[in-house]
Structures are given as structure tokens and as C-alpha cells.
Structure 1
Amino acid sequence: MNSASKHFSFIQNILYSGAIATTAALSLLAPSLSKPAEANLENSPKVVLDEAWQIVNREYVDGSFNHTDWQATRKSLLEKNYTSQAQAYKALREALDKLDDPYTRFLDPEQFKALTNQTSGEMSGVGMQLKQEELTKAIAVVDVVENSPAMKGGLLPGDQIKEIDGKSTSGLSVSAAAKLIRGDVGTKVVLRVIRPGDREFDVTLTRARIELQAVRYDLK
């Protein structure tokens, strides 16, 4: 197995969604591709695009794909030439944006590592998941854990963390920001938060032991 195949075989773990249930075995290539096209695809960044497209095509709950021609989206993704994985990742994010679903997003390997570091098993912290905004590089809240200090403190998805205990988050990676927020149970951390609408405020949270559930869903 070549390095590209090894790397991209973990796409089912990197595509993070509240609307998609990923499966253990994934069909990597669509049957419409010829053998030469398959060989070329396996050695290019397009492999991650096609596998992500396959996951959405099979598992997305809205069969209309937000009234998007999802087959045409795949064709567009695979017809382009990419000189780097970063270009392919950008194209995939733009394709997923068409779904207009805030819970369906693509995490590159670095972002996925940061996310799993924040959400694996049991930890001591305030109970929120962070991301770095692609354009502004701001550290923002993705989700808050139910009954966590973050939820009790009123933090919401979309809030931006401007400072952590007086230290600016400008230039910090997600993992560096998360490390500053984590700490011993019972200790406090002060966050300066910017909420969409230009509201800025401080919130003091008491760190606690956070136990995370692997899956959360509602039956209606």
C-alpha cells in the first residue's frame, strides 16, 4: 500500500459530522472510473476527495443534498488538478459548504489530531471542542459537552476565544490553546470571549473531570 493510500484510508475518521454515520468499510472508488483512472487516483490527493464524496453520498440524511447536484460535485472535484493536499482539502471543504450543514465538515490530519486530543476518553478541563477558523485563524468553539463547565458558563458554538488567563490566542494552534485551557480539577481559568455580533465578555470556569460519550443522538 502506498503512502497516499495509507494516509487517506482514515478518511472515515476525519470526516466529522452530526448528520453522517460513517461505516467501517468504505468503497474507495466509484464503479464509473476506469482502471487507469483508478490507478491515477490512488496516487493523487483526489483519493481523499472521492472517499469523502462516497461517505456523504451513502450516509447523508438529506437525499437532495440541500438541493445540490451531488454527482456533478464529484465530477468537478475529480476533474481538477491539485498540486498539493492542501488544495484538495480546500476543494473538499468548498464542496461540503454546499450542503449548508454546520455539522458536516472535513478535518485534515492535524485538525483531527487536535480534536481527538480534546475529546478522547476522560479528561480534566471545561468541556468544549475547539477549532481554528480557516480565514481569520481565530480559536473558536465547535461544541460544548452537556453539563460541562463550558455549558454551565454559557459558552456557545461559534464563540471565539480571544484570551486564556490574559494570554492572547493570536498565533496559537488549537492544541496550544486547548493545553492552556486544560488543568487540574477544581482550578479556574478565565476566558475572554467574542460572540458573533461583537459582544465581548469574560467568563470564569472551574475545571472539572469531563467524561465524554462516543456517540450522542436523539430519537424523535
Structure 2
Amino acid sequence: MSLVRTSSTARFFAGLFVTAGLFAYFTHSLPSLSLQLQMDDEPSPGPIAGITVSLTQKSTSPPTIIVHVTNTNSDPVTFLSYGSPLDGLALQLGLLSITPDGASTSLEVPTLEVQRKWPPDAESLITFAPGESQQQDIVIKNTVVPPDDIGAKAIVQLTGKWQAVWGKAKEDISKEAIEKAGIADDAYSGLFSSNELEIEVTA
């Protein structure tokens, strides 16, 4: 009889020990899990994370790339075109890297020192409505990059930095904010990067 009582008592304390251990584990784990969920739910600061940049090829001779910029934010976005993916001098500014097939490094593309008007005028600010997409061609001209340097195939990518991005329409940006651009209280700056695109080049 005493053996039965001893066995029951042992099982009772063993169960109590396991319950206490599980309680302590979940007590310490749940706060960190809750914090992780909160961090995952937090949106990226500013509208830059919601602007996508992608490349497609339009033609092989001369090799021409189409830059697509899309605003996936739920609000309008305005950015300064200087040094942006839609800058008409993107190739000459060194924003487009060109790596010939089999090469380990990209080509050295001649770049320009450009003097830009400051403060920027209205035409230098581009506004995108939510979901809107705009595009622009980048023609890899023979005078800038000879086809023989590129070869039959190459990998291209567009990278750079947004100098100033606002989460609002152009008409809602003050003149003072435009003059300050990237250091304005309501403006954001940050890096952009497109997909890597394999292009073909023909004579």
C-alpha cells in the first residue's frame, strides 16, 4: 500500500515540475514572439520601399533598355528626377552597370559631370498616383559604349540613390521643401536597385 502511495506522490510532483517548466518557458517566450510580430508588421519608413524599379529589353541594335518605375504605395509619391531611374542621363551618370557575359566586373562607362539647375523647377519633380507606372528608354549608344566591349550578351542593372522623395503630390510640396530637397523634414532619400537583366546585342 505504501508503494502505491509513494508512486502516486512521485507522479504528482513530476507533473507539477513539468507544468511549472512549461509555464516558465511560455512566460519568457511569448513577449519576444509578440515583439517579433510587431516588428514584422511595422511598415518601412517613408514611401521609398513602395517604389519598384525594373528593366526589360526593347531592342538589340542599338541595345535599348526600358526602365519601369511603379508606385505601389497607397498614396501619391513625388520624387526629384535628378539621378533617379527616370533621369535622361542615367547611362552617362553611371547608374547602369553593364557586365559582359562571362566577365567578373562591369565595364567602365564614361561618365559626365552635370551641373543641375537649383532649386529644381516643376518639370524636375515627377508625381506618381497610387499604382501608377512610368517608363523611359536607356539607349546604349555606340559613342558611349562600343558594342564590341559588350559582346553578344551582358547583364545590366540600374542602381543609385533617390535624392528626394515625398509621400505626397507635387502641388502639396512647399517651395522651401523643394529648395532643401533631400534634407527637408518631409522628404526621404535612399537607395534604389533594379532587377539584373540579361540583354542580347546584335550588330
**Does TM, normalized by the shorter one, top 0.5?**
no
- Structure showing the higher helix proportion among its residues: 1
- Structure showing the higher strand proportion among its residues: 2
Give the alignment's TM-score, normalised by structure 1. Answer: 0.20
- Asked which structure has the greater CA Rg, the reply is 2
Quick one: higher RCO (CA 8 Å, sep 6+), 1 or 2?
2
